[in-house]
């Protein structure tokens, strides 16, 4: 990349990762056009995806006989398309992405967004509003509330909601100020151990055991990327959790199992997995594992050499550190939805065309995990990395759209990879990968599938 907006973004992300600047500068950017947005969305998609790719390129230099990092290319148009859906079902359809009650509502003094995809969050909102689960009834009741009062009432009830802030209002908010002072990626070194030995020719992450405790899009995007380069990713979900709308998108290449961490027998299995893992990727609220008895000290006692990459919604400092949040909700809070509405000339908050906070943060999480693996392989140091959707929003907001770009060309047959993915829902194809890393292939060893359809165990190391 030269002096493009994507290049400047990638330089900043590369610096946050600690990757040599020359690797970021050497990326070749291809494609034209951009997504319509108040922000440089397509550049952001290209930069965050390229960050994960250059982390793989750096790791490739660890292989015997390899000294020069392979060339990385990024297709900005395909990167933008991957920020929506990569899967293309053949003869079947993805379930609806949103609960009927989810969305933006007018309050007495502004707007609020209710996130009701999870049954527990839906019930919390309905309990606070005291109404039937009908959108018309919810609309009437929400209009009777002040936005902030309703937001806090739903949060206290265990739900998820966010009032609309402008960019300026959010930066003046105590939580917005706290998040703006955090690094894009917060690193910590917690010990030196034997160098990590992983990788096979053409599969740089082969043999890497990744315990995946993530949900929805951001964290699962990270672990999907790791699986694409050979990592043994084991996703663990609780017994009743399901994500039918996104599982086909984010589960390829992963083993998928369920554990009840309130049951002693399952806790024993989980502790064995934690001890066996090389990397833990988790996206629960920052206090969730501690409340289950697995705070950082306990995790370190079970596995002193564990690499950790974690994600939360609203940052790791401030009063909202444990608050629930998802991409579209964080867009409301951080001012992105207000800026999109202003650009479009509409009063109602407007979400971005893609869930850029989820996918962008997910690719940066993947890059952080790979960078930590590189350090563990070359020095023996073990590191943790922390990211948040709200801090990613701060980064994106630094790059408003400077001028209108031509729209991205429509999807064509050449954009789709020829391989057929035999999923439990039916056959499917995928978009071509938006990047290349030399001649290292990006592919998954198993198709997407429903959550919890396997056993809670890693593959045998060969």
Q: What average pLDDT does this structure show over 247-259?
A: 98
55, 138, 321, 422 from 429: Cα distances, Å = 26, 39, 39, 9
Q: What average pLDDT does this structure show over 406-429?
A: 97
| pLDDT value at residue 402 | 80
Question: How buried is 55 (Cβ within 10 angstroms: 0-12 exposed, 13-18 middle, 19+ buried)?
Answer: buried
pLDDT band of residue 462 (cuts 50, 70, 90) is low
The length of the chain, given as a count of residues: 462
Strands (E), 127-253: 161-163, 186-192, 209-213, 232-237
Q: Output helix, strand, coil percentages for the chain, rounded to the nearest 5.
A: 40, 15, 45
- Please provide the DSSP assignment of 258-295 as one string: E--TTSHHHHHHHHHHHHH-SEEEE-S-TTHHHHTT--
Only one residue has tokens 């739900």, namely 159
226 three-class SS: helix
8, 25, 28, 153, 352 from 3: Cα distances, Å = 7, 9, 12, 47, 25
Rounded to whole angstroms, the Cα distance separating 431 from 419 reads: 10
* CB neighbour list of residue 413: distance below 8 Å, 6 or more residues apart: none
Both tokens of residue 326?
């998802």
| 421-423: strand order across its sheet | 87-89, 426-430, 421-423
| pLDDT value at residue 461 | 80
| pLDDT value at residue 403 | 77
Residue 383 pairs in a beta bridge with 189
- Candidates 261, 206, 252, 249; CA nearest to 231 is 206
Is the confidence at residue 354, as pLDDT, over 80?
A: yes
Is the confidence at residue 418, as pLDDT, over 70?
A: yes
Give the tens place of pLDDT for each residue, 202-223. Answer: 999 999 999 999 999 999 999 9
| pLDDT value at residue 63 | 82
Give the tens place of pLDDT for each residue, 50-72. Answer: 999 999 999 999 987 767 999 99
| pLDDT value at residue 405 | 85
Q: What average pLDDT does this structure show over 139-153?
A: 98
Question: How buried is 105 (Cβ within 10 angstroms: 0-12 exposed, 13-18 middle, 19+ buried)?
Answer: buried
Q: What average pLDDT does this structure show over 172-196?
A: 97
Rounded to whole angstroms, the Cα distance separating 273 from 29 reads: 40
The radius of gyration of the chain's CA atoms, rounded to the nearest angstrom, is 21
Question: How is residue 415 annotated by DSSP?
Answer: G
Pairs from 229-232 (Cβ < 8 Å, separation ≥ 24)? 229/56, 229/203, 229/204, 229/205, 229/440, 229/442, 230/199, 230/200, 230/203, 230/204, 230/205, 230/206, 230/445, 231/205, 231/206, 231/279, 232/207, 232/208, 232/458, 232/459
Give the tens place of pLDDT for each residue, 258-288. Answer: 999 999 999 999 999 999 999 999 999 889 9
- Candidates 187, 191, 186; CA nearest to 381 is 191
Give the tens place of pLDDT for each residue, 9-52. Answer: 999 999 999 999 999 999 999 999 999 999 999 999 999 999 99
pLDDT band of residue 2 (cuts 50, 70, 90) is low
Q: What average pLDDT does this structure show over 380-389?
A: 98
Give the end-to-end CA distance of the chain in Å, rounded to a whole number.
38
Q: What average pLDDT does this structure show over 375-395?
A: 98
Model confidence pTM above 0.95 = yes
Q: In the predicted model, what is the mean pLDDT of the chain? A: 96
Helix (H) or strand (E) holding 337: helix 336-344
| pLDDT value at residue 112 | 98
Rounded to whole angstroms, the Cα distance separating 22 from 427 reads: 41
**pLDDT over 70, % of the chain:** 99
Both tokens of residue 105?
């509502």
| pLDDT value at residue 1 | 57
Rounded to whole angstroms, the Cα distance separating 355 from 245 reads: 14
């Amino acid at each position: 990349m030269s002096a493009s907006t994507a290049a400047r973004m990638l330089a900043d992300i590369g610096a946050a990762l600690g990757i040599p600047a020359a690797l970021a500068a050497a990326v070749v950017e291809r494609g034209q056009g951009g997504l319509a947005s108040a922000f440089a969305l397509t550049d952001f998609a290209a930069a965050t995806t390229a960050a994960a790719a250059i982390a793989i390129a750096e790791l490739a230099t660890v292989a015997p006989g390899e000294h020069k990092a392979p060339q990385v290319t990024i297709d900005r148009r395909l990167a933008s398309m991957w920020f929506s859906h990569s899967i293309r079902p053949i003869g079947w359809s993805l379930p609806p992405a949103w609960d009927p009650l989810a969305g933006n509502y007018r309050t007495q003094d502004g707007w609020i967004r209710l996130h009701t995809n999870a049954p527990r969050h839906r019930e919390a909102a309905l309990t606070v509003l005291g109404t039937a689960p009908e959108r018309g009834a919810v609309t009437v009741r929400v209009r009777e509330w002040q936005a902030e009062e309703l937001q806090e009432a739903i949060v206290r009830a265990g739900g998820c909601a966010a009032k609309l802030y402008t960019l300026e209002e959010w930066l003046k908010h105590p939580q917005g100020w706290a998040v703006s002072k955090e690094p894009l990626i917060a690193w910590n070194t917690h010990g030196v151990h034997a160098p990590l030995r992983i990788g096979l020719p053409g599969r740089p992450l082969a043999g890497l055991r990744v315990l995946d405790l993530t949900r929805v899009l951001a964290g699962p995007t990270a672990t999907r990327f790791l699986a694409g380069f050979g990592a043994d990713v084991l996703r663990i979900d609780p017994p009743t959790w399901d994500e039918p709308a996104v599982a086909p998108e984010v589960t390829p290449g992963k083993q998928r199992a369920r554990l009840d961490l309130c049951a002693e027998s399952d806790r024993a299995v989980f502790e064995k997995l934690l001890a066996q893992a090389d990397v833990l990727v988790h996206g629960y609220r920052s206090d969730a594992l501690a409340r289950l008895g697995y705070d950082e000290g306990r995790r370190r006692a079970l596995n002193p050499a564990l690499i950790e990459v974690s994600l939360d919604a609203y940052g790791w400092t401030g009063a909202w550190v444990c608050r629930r949040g998802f991409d579209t909700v964080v867009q409301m809070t951080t001012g992105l939805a207000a800026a999109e509405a202003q650009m479009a000339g509409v009063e109602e908050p407007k979400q971005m065309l893609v869930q850029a906070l989820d996918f962008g943060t997910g690719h940066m999480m993947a890059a952080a995990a790979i960078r930590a693996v590189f350090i563990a392989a070359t020095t023996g140091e073990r590191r943790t990395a922390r990211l948040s959707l709200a801090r990613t929003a701060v980064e994106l907001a630094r790059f408003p759209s400077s001028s209108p770009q031509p729209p991205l060309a429509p999807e064509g047959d050449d954009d789709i990879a020829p391989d057929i993915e035999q999923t439990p829902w039916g056959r499917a194809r995928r978009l071509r990968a938006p990047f290349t890393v030399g001649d290292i292939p990006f592919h998954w060893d198993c198709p997407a599938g429903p959550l919890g359809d396997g056993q809670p165990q890693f593959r045998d190391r060969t």
